[in-house]
Amino acid sequence: MELILRATGLRKAFPGVVALDGVDFEVRRGEVHGLLGENGAGKSTLISILYGIYRPDGGEIFVNGQKTVIHSPSHAARLGIALISQHFALVESLTVEENLKLAGVDVARAVEVGRGLGVEIPLGRYVGELTVGERQRVEIVKALARNSELLLMDEPTALLSPREVKSLLGIVRRLADMGKAVVFVTHKIREVVEVADRVTVLRRGRLVGVYEKPFDEEELLRAMFQGVSPRRVHGVRGPPGEVIYRAEGLRGNRVADVDIELRRGEVVAVLGVAGNGQEELMELLSGFKKPRGGRIFIDGEEVTGRPFSYFLKRGVAYLPEERGRALAKELSVLDNFKIRCFNNCVNLLEEARKILDIDFPTPGSRAAALSGGNQQKLLLAREVWLRKPRILVASYPTRGLDVETAEKFYDLVRAAVAGGAVLSVKDIEEAVERADRIYTISRGRITGVFTPPFDTGEIAEAMTQ
């Protein structure tokens, strides 16, 4: 097949970090090209260069055989390159039709493109009413209506329900069948194996290899993690202890009548499609936000309405969905660590770095210079490994983490959290594999409570009630 894009020797460095070191990458027309790598591997930097967000320090890029310097995202768009990111360029207070017009897209053309792709475009609905999957489909159609030939999809399944993931993978294959090229960035081996024609693996800014169908999942895992597959067999867990945390009839702005309990030694997952009240629920459970109704108990003591500082004193740790709310990105790695560390901090940070494989040049490096995954590792090191809370409440704690680091996170929770953990999770597979109990949430209400052995079909149905 004809090459639509070829990059050779791409290099990009940030202060103290070499993000890409001589990477070659190519994409053919009519193919889905998977891009794999652990946190800090350089995937986001590569995508940002191809879309004109960053300028490479070295290397060459050829688009349709012509040597090109991609100056900006608008220049990339003129070259037929589109980016489908997790942060959609849509205005929630406008209808889909108004958003298309705002973006300079011919509405009739968009409807025609959607029909050819098997996607319905709800022109009259407000974007704020759409699910994440529906918004994503609008972005895809918008890109095609602009005659984009190469679509860069950065973690496109990160916030989708299982049904929406299945739908998206079908759309991606249809795009390839139409002759479009798709770069599919994901941490999920099974997704890339299902949808991709070829896979490029990066590790620490360098090219490890390019793999073609039929794929060997273990080979891809070994390529990502320096020859060691992180998969393990998970043993049977012991019975949980007494109830240490309980919420009754909890109400907020987006959640209503929520009952949840946590027993000693448990990992409890709150599983739902993004946007169904999970973030507010975690804020309420952690004491970060005061409820409008209901009651919260820790070890039998009612703590409803007490300040967040009291929850912290009672051993509750909270990891919000947005890292920026818990991490001072303009401060150094060490200064961020010192928010919870008061003695021997340099040595403790180095120990945490080794355990969680946090990649940063020096303790004095700015936290903002770290990749998203390494920022998340720093938070886990500070709030879980260092603090060793009694109860952990966390929103999507493994979001952006590769397979190996997600393994380490759950090992860390089991070892360091004295009581138990309530975690907001979006992936059924992760919840089934890791949780002792699963609560499903839809439209701000608990729709099911599940214990092993888990029935994924029942769980998926409860998520979409």
Residue 224, pLDDT score: 80
Q: How confident is the model at residue 152 (pLDDT cuts 50, 70, 90)?
A: very high
Rounded Cα–Cα distance for residues 429 and 129 (Å): 27
CB-CB contact of 183 with 35 (8 Å): yes
Determine which of 49-53, 229-233, 393-397 has the lowest per-residue pLDDT on average: 229-233
pTM: 0.65
List the domain boundaries for the chain: 3-224, 242-463
| CA separation, residue 407 to residues 38, 132, 161, 181, 432 (Å) | 13, 27, 22, 33, 14
Q: 261: part of which helix (H) or strand (E)?
A: strand 258-263
Is the domain defined by 242-463 classed in CATH 3.20.20.330?
no
Q: Give 128's DSSP letter.
A: G
396-407: average pLDDT: 82
Residue 16 has pLDDT above 90, yes or no: no
Rounded Cα–Cα distance for residues 223 and 219 (Å): 6
Q: What one-character-per-residue DSSP string does 74-110 give?
A: HHHHHTTEEEE-SS----TTSBHHHHHHHTT--HHHH
pLDDT tens digits along 329-360: 999 999 999 999 999 999 999 999 998 889 99
Residue 444, pLDDT score: 92
Determine which of 26-35, 39-48, 59-68, 109-118 has the lowest per-residue pLDDT on average: 39-48
Residue 251 has pLDDT above 60, yes or no: yes
Residue 301 has pLDDT above 90, yes or no: yes
Residues 6+ apart with CB under 8 A from 425: 269, 270, 271, 396, 398, 431, 434, 435
Q: What one-character-per-residue DSSP string does 342-353 give?
A: -SSHHHHHHHHH
Residue 325 has pLDDT above 90, yes or no: no
pLDDT tens digits along 260-294: 999 999 999 999 877 789 999 999 999 999 999 99
Residue 225, pLDDT score: 67
Q: How confident is the model at residue 407 (pLDDT cuts 50, 70, 90)?
A: confident
| Domain 3-224, second-level architecture | 3-Layer(aba) Sandwich (3.40)
In CATH terms, are 3-224 and 242-463 the same topology?
yes
Residue 442, pLDDT score: 86
Residue 222, pLDDT score: 83
CB-CB contact of 258 with 276 (8 Å): no
Burial of 325 (0-12, 13-18, 19+ CB in 10 A): exposed
Higher pLDDT, 24 or 405: 24
Could you give the residue ranges of the DSSP H alpha helices within 146-196? 162-177, 189-195
Q: Is 309 helix (H, G, I), strand (E, B) or coil?
A: helix
pLDDT tens digits along 208-249: 999 999 999 888 888 886 654 444 433 335 567 899 999 999
